[in-house]
Amino acid sequence: MTPAPRTLELFYDVLSPYSWLGFEVLCRYKKLWNINLQLRPSLIAAIMKDSGNQPPALLPRKAQYLQNDIRLLGQHIQVPIQFPKDFFSVILEKGSLSAMRFLTAVNLEHPKMLEKVSRELWMRVWSRAAEKAGMSTEQAQGLLEKISTPEVKNELRDTTNTACKYGAFGLPVTVAHLDGQTHMLFGSDRMELLAHLLGEKWMGPVPPAINAKI
């Protein structure tokens, strides 16, 4: 008899490149590890404010390190991350509120499409994200109209508050619910520790079953 899947929650924001790395690794392992992966779109700016943290990219040395680190990690994990030329204006000015409300609306109305739409937003194909994920123009327009509704705003706020209650000070955050205990892991580089908690084997960021398809 196959044991019931263990529940993992992934709190993420498309503004966070490390969230994308963790997202892809967990998506690759969800069947191999028999986990129920619950994607939880959250607002990183609100988590930073609540915890008193600041984006590392605001510090020049960290920003320089960040660009090289993400480039190398993208190659290692086989995720096509490209630093946008307007990265700092995106971080400081544009933010991710509209994007995360859109993903919250997707989760409420079409939850099975959340993984694909999230991935497309990370790919920075913003105007074509819903279309490339297989969503009709009518569906996408309907969701865009919902992003300002109280339902979507409240859902995003509640999810973000949940991440804060778990102790989040940034994203991504993976929360594992195991044997009545809750384990909060920060960052995209805690997968080996997660495997240990699950009693599973860590086979690198691109496990053999996935690597054979690439």
Q: Which one is catalytic: 16, 42, 96, 188?
A: 16
Task: Say if residue 172 is preceded by a cis peptide, omega within 30 of 0.
Answer: yes
**C-alpha angle 171/76/185, rounded to 5°?**
30
Other C-beta atoms lying within 10 Å of the C-beta of residue 119: 19
How far is Cα 198 from Cα 214, in angstroms, rounded to an integer?
26
Q: For this structure, is 16 an active site residue?
A: yes
Query: Hey, which bits of the chain come out as E strands?
Result: 6-12, 35-41, 173-178, 181-186
CB atoms within 10 A of CB 35: 18
Catalytically annotated residues:
16
